[in-house]
């Protein structure tokens, strides 16, 4: 039977760090488009899950070859890959891997081919849950890579269970696998089911974002370009390029406070969870 839409199930569940059940090594597969996605979109909950013993495996789909300013693509790839790993260590991510698809080009990619790579990862890693962009949270989302990946992950969830989807996987010794939980994040979350108290790990999010100086320099350059167009002073962004910590810390604190305030939290992250009702199943990563 289909479940009710989250909007019809009442208020989101509030989760403080002590409410997250022990992971006991169970795997959560975090699938992102770009190196800085975990830090910007899911740093708090990722750190909380890792602290509770969940094993986070992060799959980065693109090569991030274009996300820099003043560097050639080869050097951009090298730096962003290293910074991705540095940020992952800060958040407690246990393992990372890169698919190296062309960044900002997933709109041209075969959806079926992308889906196959995610199905393969699901069958290989056999995760308890999937974590990725919400395919329905498109308000304010201007990155086509995020949209395309969200659809591919959502469809890979159910295709990974079919014994006739990609029989070549079975010939390689992989087997169909049924993920139980799916956790979705985004620039906006359509119908959040869970609100995580991230005040205790906000400093780690700041540190994880700061671990991406190459991408941060590009973000600040974009803001400076917009300021010039608006007739405003771009100097604050140039100053932030030399020392981004104050700006990054303030930006992340404001965003976390805005999400937490409706629930009486100093900092929060919103996620939408989807899963089947399985009698006798253990508590999931949301504690219920």
What pLDDT, in 10s, does the model give residues 171-224? 999 999 999 999 999 998 889 999 999 999 999 999 999 999 999 999 999 999
Residues 6+ apart with CB under 8 A from 144: 104, 106, 107
User: Is residue 9 assigned to a domain?
Assistant: no
User: Is residue 207 assigned to a domain?
Assistant: yes
Which residue range is the domain that position 169 belongs to?
23-274
User: Is residue 4 assigned to a domain?
Assistant: no
Asked if pLDDT for residue 138 goes beyond 90, the answer is no
Edge-to-edge strand list for the sheet holding 181-185: 13-15, 194-197, 268-275, 181-185, 129-133, 27-32, 55-62, 95-101
Number of domains in the chain: 1
Asked if pLDDT for residue 5 goes beyond 60, the answer is no
Query: Mean pLDDT, to the nearest integer, of 79-84?
Result: 98
- Provide the pLDDT for residue 24: 95
- CA 203 centroid distance within chain: 18
User: Is residue 2 assigned to a domain?
Assistant: no
In whole angstroms, give the CA distance from residue 188 to residue 153.
18
By the 8 A CB rule, do 34 and 81 touch?
Answer: no
pLDDT band for position 2 (cuts 50, 70, 90): very low
- Provide the pLDDT for residue 9: 59
Residues 6+ apart with CB under 8 A from 10: none
255-273: pLDDT as tens digits: 999 999 999 999 999 999 9
Asked if pLDDT for residue 4 goes beyond 60, the answer is no
User: Is residue 144 assigned to a domain?
Assistant: yes
User: Is residue 185 assigned to a domain?
Assistant: yes
Q: Give the predicted TM-score (pTM) of the model.
A: 0.95
Q: What is the CATH number of the domain that holds 49?
A: 3.40.50.10320
In whole angstroms, give the CA distance from residue 278 to residue 260.
30
User: Is residue 15 assigned to a domain?
Assistant: no
Q: End-to-end distance of the chain based on CA atoms, in angstroms?
A: 19
Burial of 90 (0-12, 13-18, 19+ CB in 10 A): buried
User: Is residue 287 assigned to a domain?
Assistant: no
- Provide the pLDDT for residue 262: 95
């Amino acid at each position: 039977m289909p479940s009710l839409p989250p909007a019809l199930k009442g208020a989101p569940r509030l989760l403080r760090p002590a409410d997250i059940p022990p992971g006991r090594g169970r795997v959560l597969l975090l699938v992102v488009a770009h190196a800085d996605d975990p830090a910007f979109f899911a740093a708090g909950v990722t750190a909380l899950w890792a602290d509770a013993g969940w094993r986070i495996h992060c799959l980065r789909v693109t090569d991030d070859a274009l996300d820099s300013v003043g560097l050639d693509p080869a050097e951009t790839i090298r730096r962003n890959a290293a910074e991705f790993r540095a940020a992952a260590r800060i958040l407690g991510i246990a393992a990372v891997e890169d698919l190296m698809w062309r960044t900002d080009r997933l709109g041209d990619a075969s959806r079926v081919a992308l889906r196959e790579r995610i199905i393969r990862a699901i069958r290989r890693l056999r995760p308890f849950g999937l974590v990725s962009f919400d395919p329905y949270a498109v308000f304010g989302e201007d990155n086509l890579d995020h949209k395309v990946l969200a659809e591919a992950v959502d469809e890979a969830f159910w295709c990974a269970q079919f014994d006739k989807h990609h029989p070549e996987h079975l010939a390689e010794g992989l087997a169909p696998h049924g993920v139980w939980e799916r956790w979705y994040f985004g620039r906006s979350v359509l119908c959040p089911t869970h609100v995580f108290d991230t005040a205790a790990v906000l400093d780690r999010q700041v540190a994880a974002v700061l671990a991406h100086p190459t991408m941060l320099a590009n973000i600040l350059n974009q803001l400076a370009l917009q300021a010039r167009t608006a007739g405003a002073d771009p100097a604050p962004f140039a100053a932030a390029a030399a020392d981004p910590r104050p700006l990054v810390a303030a930006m992340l604190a404001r965003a976390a406070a805005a999400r937490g305030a409706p629930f009486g939290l100093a900092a929060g992250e919103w996620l939408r969870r989807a899963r089947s009702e399985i009698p006798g199943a253990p508590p999931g990563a949301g504690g219920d």
